[in-house]
Structure 1
Amino acid sequence: MRLRALTLTTAVVSSVVVPAAAAPQRTNTEARPLAATEGPIVQMFGWPWDSLAEECRSSLGPSGYAAIQVSPPTEHVQLAGEGYPWYEDYQPVSYELRSRRGDAEQFGNMVSACNAAGVKVYVDVVLNHMSGSGSQGSGPGSGGTEYAKYDYPGTYVDSDFHDCRRDIADYTDKWEVRNCELVGLADLKTESTEVRDTQTAYLNELVDMGVSGFRVDAAKHMAPQDIAAVVDGLHKTPPGATPYVYQEVIADATTSASEYTGHGDATTFAYTDRVAGAFADGSVSGLRNLPDELSLKSEQAVVFVANHDTERSSPTLTYKDGAAYDLANAFAMAFPYGTARVQSGFDFGSNTDAGPPSDSNGFTEPAGCGDGSAWVCTHRHQLVAGMAGFSSAVSGAGVTDWWDNGSNLIAFGRGDAGFVAFNSGGAQGSAREQVTREFTTSLPAGTYCDVMTGRFENGECTGEAVEVSSDGTFTAMVEANSGVALHENAELGS
């Protein structure tokens, strides 16, 4: 075996209980136990390491987000002639930690800072391929490495790539999907022990730096057993936990996401289509039966309203839709299906290929959430941020006290731990307005902070206070494209 050294610098009311997701029960002897994610993830798309360290300390940690997903940290192609597009990051040329977001020291400092703030770090990793045909002759990588397609000195040689050196032409042919090239990207021979060992070594370097898990890009284009072989060799994360693994699987008639759940969770794009569509149309009452519409079990799914691909290629609902988008993300964190992931990236305007704000050499400028910033800080918007703590407070509780008006208004509890109401009536320019009504909950009597309208800090609320009576009812006004969210950890005077 060849060894390679890696250098890594009408109203409907119901009290029926819908159970919450059970803890994963994996009986497949080949299945690998997973570390649980105890709250929502934020995909901090394109953020540089120094800025992320500060954001974990100042916002992400205090808000109660469980983890962040960071962009690939590996050295990648540089496409100056194309204006340094976002997809550079998904064309690695080595596994050195020298990307446009920073070097190994900056990456390590970010991981330490986020962990100290109570935020786990999940890394987006590219294992299916290396650089593509379009990057040939574009010069060295972001860390200075000279390379050619199928030749990456110190990492891979020609024999480490599949022989089908053409684009995938037939997506109904599973062999072709997994062995030919995805839009011209050099397809790695992931069945090879040498390739697997190289990839496991790279991931373990990250784990040893404090990384807690991985999002596997383009997993559909690799055989499930190949990914399993790589992740089975991962080190434990402190204090002896198994790294959390979730995989990008765009399911179709040929490939199902469930093929990949023996060794990790999987994304479900059917959820994205359903939830984004409902909040875009303002017709959300049907979401009550959402789990019955989806093929993955809740404990196997990672769900989102938009990600960096969908907001560019199939924009049913994105940051450009404002409050409707934020409300959909709030729902994802309130409803007990899957692990919710929120997208926070940057404003790309009409140029869907645009990369993050960068200097003249393509290296990412500091990110921030101030007025006029090009960065889209969805995770800080109150409709979204307040739901991070809600998600943690109601963990393990099923849906109770469901109510809807058959259209744009829904409300439900999470046992006696929390209660939410959503008014999607303002979606996509609708003229529907605010609604005032009495809601029935299972919450104990008390005064609660509405965390969709303000922060709960040091026992005080910067938003609306809501009084729940001894019979569990409360009356509130719900604005269009807004909601109400109460939970036991945001009770005033407690």
Structure 2
Amino acid sequence: MLNLTTFRRQAWLWLSAAAAVVPSAQADVILHAFNWNYTEITAKANEIAAAGYKKVLVAPPLKSSGNEWWARYQPQDLRLIDHPRGNKQQLQTLITTLSGLGVEVYADVVLNHMANESWKRSDLNYPGTEQLNNYSANWTYVNNQKLFGDLSQNFLSGSDFHAPGCISNWLDVGHVQYYRLCGGGGDTGLPDLDNNSWVVSQQQQYLQALKNMGVKGFRVDAVKHMTNTHINQVFTSGIKSGVHVFGEVITSGGAGNQEYELFLKPYLDGTGQGAYDFPLFASIRSALSYGGSMNSLVDPGAYGQALAWNKAVTFAITHDIPTNDGFRYQILNSTDEALAHAYILGRDGGMPMIYSDHGETAALDGYRWQDFYKRADIKNMIRFHNATQGNGMQVMGYNDCFLLFKRGKKGVVGINKCDQPVDFWVDSYAYEFNWYKNYVDVLAGNSFNVSSQWFKLTLPGRSARMWLEQ
């Protein structure tokens, strides 16, 4: 327990921390509707909007085949939208429906490579003879799914790709950006696109067509494997205007981490785009781990362990973590994941993303993230997040076990990772509150009311509290 005497001895430390107020930012919550059918998202549009989401990230809108989730990331053609999760008309209906509810649509885009179809053909003409014949046989339908171009011809050939070869050194920038992503057993990998003028023009037309449909954001898959030159050629000022662009650059830490220094920092500095905040995620994992300290979450950005507030997409889980053997070690246990969500949805800075799937890893994880988007605690955390937008963040107290901070006068967040409860005495003269107002915890329902200089907040063990002014 932290009693009043202990608090007074340590007050100088916490008050000095409170002097640093993180600048506020508008950061609406993204729902990653991972591998959802477009029609399902449309059917649930009202529910999604009512839950407080302001953006929805959808499966890659392109031509792909196969029911496996990873098949969505193996493009056969960028010139039309047609795959098992939906087609162009269904995506347009989705965009129109969500836009009418004030929710924007983000598209997952794949620009680094094309589908690995070496098992059935040796050439690099895309989409290839088989698909062109399918187009011809179903011309009316296919033409209705067209985004741009002449679907009677291939749009890529062998000269549009880097020379074949698999990445073998993941800390060699040249290998990572010019060689192929390959599996084992002699797999020849995903053909890696060159940034010649033809490829760039096709990718620009693709993105512009999606913008014309009403897409307001692009998540760039595998952007770690693209050069900044290629990225900047494709994402012109016109394409970037009015849209949010962020990339996936997986690292295991922030400043000082080799992956960060080789890949994420150069990407951020060289493109001006945003990214998944893997440095912050590493800080969260470290803080919540056995022997870790919540001190590291007071202001991780000050030490290069979180991205700038306006560049970061924050998260507690992404689709790559459970679906790839090499990243599964990053899965938090369910309690720690709930604490992590309270942190990213309670803090100021970054755009939080909530992952919700259909049990793609059920054999390993059960259906842990199925319908996660509408879990009661997540919806209540989003309600807190939306209500405190525009209010700065001020740390009131912390130690190895807990972190307590306020969001202007509007709300207070407390996270206790340890088993034992924490009592914390707050000096209402040092930290401004609205007196005689009820602050109600959106997670457990308890409340406090400020009516004197000192009041006590209790954080039960292994739990979070998010008190919101009523």
**Do both share a fold (TM > 0.5)?**
yes
Aligned-partner Cα distance in 1 for 2:262–2:50: 43
Equivalent residue runs for 1:353-372 within 5 Å:
none
1:119-161 CA-to-partner distances (Å, cap 9, x unmatched) read 21111100000112566469x99xx8369xxxx9533222211
Task: Quote how far apart the aligned CAs of 1:227 are.
Answer: 1.3
The answer on 1:187 being equivalent to 2:189 is: no
1:69-110 CA-to-partner distances (Å, cap 9, x unmatched) read 2221222132xxxxx432111101012211211111111111
3-state SS of paired residue (2:316): coil
CA RMSD across the alignment: 3.1
1:259 to 252, 255, 267: 267
The answer on 1:50 being equivalent to 2:39 is: yes
Amino acid paired to 1:255: F
- Corresponding position of 2:144: none
Amino acid paired to 2:342: A
- Corresponding position of 2:52: 64
1:291 to 298, 301, 304: 301
Aligned-partner Cα distance in 2 for 1:145–1:329: 43
Aligned-partner Cα distance in 1 for 2:100–2:461: 38
Does 129-138 or 109-118 show the bigger shift? 129-138
3-state SS of paired residue (1:411): strand
Q: 1:256 to 1:133 in 2, by over 3 A?
A: same
Task: Quote how far apart the aligned CAs of 1:233 are.
Answer: 5.7
Could you say which structure has the higher helix fraction? 2
The answer on 1:220 being equivalent to 2:228 is: no
- Corresponding position of 2:352: 340
Determine if contact 1:466/1:474 at 8 Å carries over to the other structure: no
Aligned-partner Cα distance in 1 for 2:460–2:118: 49
Q: 1:21 to 1:75 in 2, by over 3 A?
A: farther
Aligned-partner Cα distance in 1 for 2:285–2:372: 15
Aligned-partner Cα distance in 1 for 2:249–2:200: 20
Question: For the pair shown, which has the larger CA radius of gyration, 1 or 2?
Answer: 2
Runs (5+) with no aligned partner, structure 2? 1-5, 134-151, 183-188, 252-258
Task: Quote how far apart the aligned CAs of 1:328 are.
Answer: 0.6
Does 296-305 or 39-48 show the bigger shift? 296-305
Aligned-partner Cα distance in 1 for 2:24–2:464: 27
- Corresponding position of 1:429: none
Task: Quote how far apart the aligned CAs of 1:349 are.
Answer: 4.3
Q: TM-score, normalised by structure 2?
A: 0.78
Aligned-partner Cα distance in 1 for 2:27–2:235: 21
Does 264-273 or 91-100 show the bigger shift? 264-273
- Corresponding position of 2:393: 399
Determine if contact 2:411/2:439 at 8 Å carries over to the other structure: no
Q: 1:173 to 1:436 in 2, by over 3 A?
A: closer
Q: TM-score, normalised by structure 1?
A: 0.75
Equivalent residue runs for 1:60-459 within 5 Å:
60-78=48-66, 84-95=67-78, 96-132=80-116, 136=120, 145=131, 154-162=154-162, 164-183=163-182, 184-189=189-194, 191-232=195-236, 234-235=238-239, 242-251=242-251, 252=259, 253-261=261-269, 262-281=271-290, 283-294=293-304, 296-312=307-323, 313-316=326-329, 318=331, 321-349=333-361, 351=363, 376-404=370-398, 406-425=399-418, 432-435=419-422, 437-440=424-427, 442-445=432-435, 446-453=437-444
- Corresponding position of 1:38: 27
1:224-250 CA-to-partner distances (Å, cap 9, x unmatched) read 1221221216458xxxx6111001123
3-state SS of paired residue (2:340): helix
1:370-397 CA-to-partner distances (Å, cap 9, x unmatched) read xx97862222223322222322333343
Amino acid paired to 2:200: R
1:330-350 CA-to-partner distances (Å, cap 9, x unmatched) read 211222342222221232446
Amino acid paired to 1:286: S
- Corresponding position of 1:461: none
Aligned-partner Cα distance in 2 for 1:449–1:419: 10
Task: Quote how far apart the aligned CAs of 1:264 are.
Answer: 1.3
Aligned-partner Cα distance in 2 for 1:380–1:221: 34
1:182-237 CA-to-partner distances (Å, cap 9, x unmatched) read 22111111x2121111111111221111111101011111111221221216458x
Q: 1:128 to 1:21 in 2, by over 3 A?
A: farther
Determine if contact 2:24/2:348 at 8 Å carries over to the other structure: no
What percentage of aligned pairs have identical amino acids? 25
Determine if contact 1:302/1:341 at 8 Å carries over to the other structure: yes
3-state SS of paired residue (2:281): helix
Q: 1:99 to 1:17 in 2, by over 3 A?
A: farther
